[in-house]
Chains A and B, each alone.
Chain A
Amino acid sequence: MALIPNGTDREPMRSEKGSAAAQNSAPAAQGHAPMPYGGPAVDDIRMEEMLLNVGPQHPSTHGVLRLLVRARGETIVEADPVIGYLHRGTEKLAENLQYTQIIPYTDRLDYLASMINNYALCHTVETAIDLEVPERAEHLRVLVMEMQRIASHLLFIGAYLLDLGAMSPFLYAFQERERIVQLFNRICGARLTYNYMRIGGVKYDAPEGWLDDVRDFVPWMKGKLEMYDRLITGNEIFLNRVRGIGVFDTKTALAYGISGVNLRSTGMRWDLRRNRPYSIYDRFEFDIPVGQHGDCFDRYYLHLLEMEQSLRIIEQVLAQMPDGPVLGKVPKIIRVPAGEYYCGVEGARGELGFYIVADGKDKPYRLKIRKPSFVNLQLLPELLRGQSLSNLIAILGAVDIVLGEVDA
């Protein structure tokens, strides 16, 4: 991976020596007699590696990722992700912010799963200062986090199919997501950057009738998932494009620090909600689906299966939702005792962790975010090497990155 290069010394979109036509009509190498039928001798054909610049304004890089692809014919020799176009210095900014003030900044990391980002920070600070969180708040948190996971996975499926050339699933997915977004809008007044959680609980209790609407949402969404399964999973063209593509094994995944769906697709049953339980996840029953082949199809299908499990969790949360306050007894100014704290949660894209180095003040001395998209992106050059150019988008899409998180 490379950061944005200085200056414009590399400009791969244009050749330097004039038009492609002019270049290719250059006199052939000397010393070879032409073939009897008049065509050029095989040795005279000049093969060149092509430097293809994919992004940062490419429609399928989901934001501002840039891939420098060296290709021989249609085969990728090397692909180098260039990141940093969306860098906002969140970690540095956090050093000058009180712990509560950091929360809205986390919304902008993985903007498709803001609720989970919110939670990861709050959870880390709560662990650091040993704060009790009211029961109802924990339930509401799990509820919105699982809804957020569904919304995020829906968007993945829609966008992935759009990358593969199917237009409709994207619009279908947005309709389903819209219902979740509307519910979020009612509970916290925002559709994308929620800023809903606080250290010690959540900002707002569920408005009247909100929980019933979520209850209605669950069976409706189950039907929709069946529809997706029927429409997409069996499609022959889709299967041909994603099966056996972008394969990696558990060992590689662990060596690169891959987490989330990308890790589970290789067959490793690793989910922080189960393996390092946080919040109240140990009270719920849910399965952790894993893949078998570690290919793009497994990653697609796991997203679908995980949505189903999230719905199961939502049902159980709704069944045992207690009454009570939604914000615990939080000191006016939160001071984290000096020390180093790390908490990882299962984000929509893998292990999302906040690492706080505190010096006893109301602001972190240093905040390090373990960004799953960023870590997962490391594997991309490895996956793309030797692949055909037409597989590039299929593989990139399945790794499922969000540039807001990669660049932070």
Chain B
Amino acid sequence: MPALWLWQHGPVTWPHVLVMILGAIVTLAVTLGVVTYTIYAERKVIGWMQGRIGPNRVGPFGLLQSFADIFKLLIKEDIVPEKADRSLFLLAPIIAFVPSFMTLAVIPFTMRHIFTADFGVGLLYYLALSAITIHGVMLGGWASNNKYALIGGMRSAAQMLSYEVPLGMSLVGVALMSGSLNLNHIVLAQSRTVWYVVPQIVGFCVFLVAATAELNRTPFDLPEAESELVAGYHVEYTGFRFAFFMLTEYVYVFAMGCLAATLFLGGWSGPFLPGWLWFAIKVFAFIFFQFWLRATMPRIRVDQLMSFSWKVLLPIAMLNLVGTAIVTTLW
């Protein structure tokens, strides 16, 4: 069997490739399942917080509601506005979605890397890929040839770029403490000492805020501010293209939850329970926090959003970084 190229500890062979493809398919299936039930859980949880019942018609306890919604989106007419930039319009949802799924490749779901890549620069890879989604969002807003979509797309780009900086800065503290960008090594380092949420509490707070803004979720959901921009950048999208944008958002919620669990909450490490269960618990704690925010907060204004990122969040992240650097050097 000829080696295709070298990867990690040896040459890659065809069986390797097959396993990789299979792994990607399984991860995709798991992710889609998780996303489907995240949406269901969101509607149930927010319903509960607002004194409503939430979906309860399709299947027992409404468990099949999300599938019904997806099916509805699939069979809807696929409309491309006449004056839209056709090729960009069709391309945008794909550009937005693909990186969101690719980021999951580096997440260590369990101790042994099943189906995921064990990168030396996993953290950097995550940040780099998640930045690509901005292009999809911006192109979608631009290509729709709709003013609301354009404003939504521009706001989205400005917001995601602004918050990427403090997000990155808050993560550097973790990298400094563990001395590695490999996500699995970071988890191992935490299981040896303490979860980084304790020493990096400032960084964690910055991360939480910046992550919420990155995810375009309440109170930073300006790009799709329904009451202002009708729906923001995806206002002209219908059917499955619209579903792609929604899917992107929820996959990112999941991915960001994974990142939070990995970097700050000790990943799969924990007593008694198996690693994957610990991981799932931590991820869903993060996701639940997002639901909670959505049921509680009004929306921040666009100029306040920007000044908050640059004038408050970034200096805090910088100070945290300097402090961490000094402490880790002296220790």
**A interface residues, Cβ below 8 angstroms from B:** 13-15, 18-21, 50, 52, 58-60, 74, 161-168, 171-172, 175, 235, 237-238, 240-241, 388-393
Contacts A21-B142, A168-B295, A237-B297; A388 near B227 (Cβ below 8 A) = no
Is the pair A19, B304 in contact by a Cβ cutoff of 8 Å? no
Q: Are B221 and A165 in contact (CB under 8 A)?
A: yes
| Chain B residues near A15 (CB-CB < 8 A) | 83, 145
| A165 & B52 in contact (Cβ 8 Å cutoff) | no
Query: Given contacts A20-B145, A21-B143, A389-B151, is CB(A167)–CB(B46) below 8 Å?
Result: yes
Q: Determine which of A18, A21, A166, A392 lies in contact with B298 in the assembled complex, contact meaning CB atoms within 8 Å.
A: A166
By beta carbon, the residue of chain B nearest A171 is B50
Minimum CB–CB distance from A88 to chain B (whole Å) comes to: 27
**Complex contacts, B51 vs chain A, CB 8 Å:** 171-172, 175
| B69 cross-chain contacts in A, Cβ below 8 A | none
User: B50: which of A164, A172, A238 is its contact (CB, 8 Å)?
Assistant: A172
CA distance A15 to B52 in the complex (A): 43
Judging by beta carbons under 8 Å apart, are A171 and B84 in contact? no
B297 and A240 within 8 A (CB) = no
- Knowing A60-B227, A393-B228, the reply to whether A161 touches B52 (Cβ < 8 A) is no
Q: Which residue of A lies closest to B144 (CB)?
A: A20
Q: Which residues of B come within 8 Å of A, CB atoms?
A: 46, 49-52, 83-85, 88, 142-143, 145-148, 150-151, 218-219, 221-222, 225-228, 230, 294-304
Which 8 residue pairs spanning A and B have beta carbons closest together? A165-B299, A166-B298, A60-B227, A171-B50, A164-B298, A163-B227, A19-B145, A390-B302
If the complex has contacts A18-B83, A59-B226, A389-B151, are A240 and B300 also in contact, measured as CB distance less than 8 A? yes
Q: Tell me the complex Cα distance, A50–B84, Å.
A: 18
- The contact of A241 among B84, B148, B301, by CB within 8 Å, is B301
| Closest-CB distance, A103 to chain B (whole angstroms) | 35
Instruction: Give the CA-CA distance A388 to B146 in the complex, in Å.
Output: 19
The answer to whether B302 touches A74, judged by C-beta atoms less than 8 angstroms apart, is yes
Distance, CA A384 to CA B133, complexed state (A): 34
On chain B, the residues within 8 Å of A161 by CB distance are 298
6 new A-B pairs (CB below 8 Å) besides A21-B143, A164-B227, A241-B298?
A: A14-B83, A21-B88, A166-B298, A167-B46, A167-B50, A168-B46
B221: chain A residues at CB < 8 Å are 165
Answer whether A52 and B147 are a contact pair too, CB < 8 Å, given A19-B84, A175-B51.
yes
* Cα(A388)–Cα(B228), bound, Å: 12
- The answer on a CB contact under 8 Å between A165 and B218 is yes
B150: A residues at CB distance < 8 A? 20
Contacts of A389 in B (CB 8 A): 151, 228
Contact check, A165 vs B145: say whether CB atoms are below 8 A apart: no
Closest CB in chain A relative to B18 CB, distance in Å: 42
Measured in the bound complex, the distance between the Cα atoms of B227 and A323 in whole Å is 49
Q: Per a CB cutoff under 8 Å, which of B52, B83, B219, B228 touches A237?
A: B219
CA gap between A74 and B305 in the complex, in Å: 15
B256 to chain A, nearest CB (A): 20
A242 to B310, CA, bound (A): 22
Give min CB distance, A190 to chain B, whole Å: 25
Given contacts A167-B294, A172-B51, A392-B228, contact A237 B145 (CB under 8 A): no
Minimum CB–CB distance for A71 against chain B, Å:
9
Chain A residues, Cβ within 8 Å of B49: 168
| Closest beta carbon of chain B to A297's beta carbon, Å | 13
Measured CB to CB, the nearest residue on chain A to B86 is A19
CA distance A13 to B82 in the complex (A): 13
19 pairs across A/B with beta carbons < 8 Å?
A13-B146, A19-B85, A19-B143, A20-B145, A21-B145, A50-B147, A58-B230, A59-B230, A161-B298, A165-B218, A165-B219, A165-B227, A166-B296, A167-B294, A172-B50, A175-B51, A235-B297, A390-B222, A390-B302
Contact B227 A393 (CB under 8 A): yes
Of the listed residues A15, A52, A167, A240, the one surrounded by the most CB atoms of chain B closer than 10 A to its CB is A167
Contact residues in B for A167 (Cβ distance below 8 Å): 46, 50, 294-295
Q: Find the A residue at minimum CB distance from B49.
A: A168
* List of A residues within 8 angstroms of B219 by Cβ: 165, 237
CA distance A276 to B304 in the complex (A): 44
B109 → A minimal CB distance (Å): 32
Chain A residue contacts of B294, Cβ below 8 A: 167
Docked complex Cα distance between A120 and B219 (Å): 42
Complexed CA–CA distance, A59 and B148 (Å) = 13
How many angstroms from the CA of A240 to the CA of B304 in the assembled complex?
A: 8
Give every chain B residue within 8 A of A241 (Cβ-Cβ). Answer: 298-301, 304
Q: A392 to B148, alpha carbons, bound, how many Å?
A: 14
Complex: how many Å from CA A306 to CA B36? Answer: 45
For the complex, what is the distance from the CA of A385 to the CA of B147, rounded to whole Å? Answer: 20
Residues of A within 8 A of B225 (CB): 165
Distance (whole angstroms) from the CB of B95 to the closest CB of chain A: 16
A78 to B300, CA, bound (A): 24
Contacts of B151 in A (CB 8 A): 74, 389
Residue of A whose beta carbon sits closest to that of B218: A165
In whole Å, how far is B136's beta carbon from the nearest beta carbon of chain A?
16
Are B303's CB and A59's CB within 8 A?
Answer: no
Quick check: A390 and B298 within 8 Å, CB to CB? no
Nearest chain B residue, comparing its CB with the CB of A391:
B301
| A14–B150 alpha-carbon span in the complex (Å) | 12
Return A23 CB to nearest CB of chain B, in Å: 9
A137 to chain B minimum Cβ distance, whole angstroms, is 36
Contact B228 A13 (CB under 8 A): no
Which residues on B sit within 8 Å (CB–CB) of A74? Answer: 151, 302
B198 to chain A minimum Cβ distance, whole angstroms, is: 27
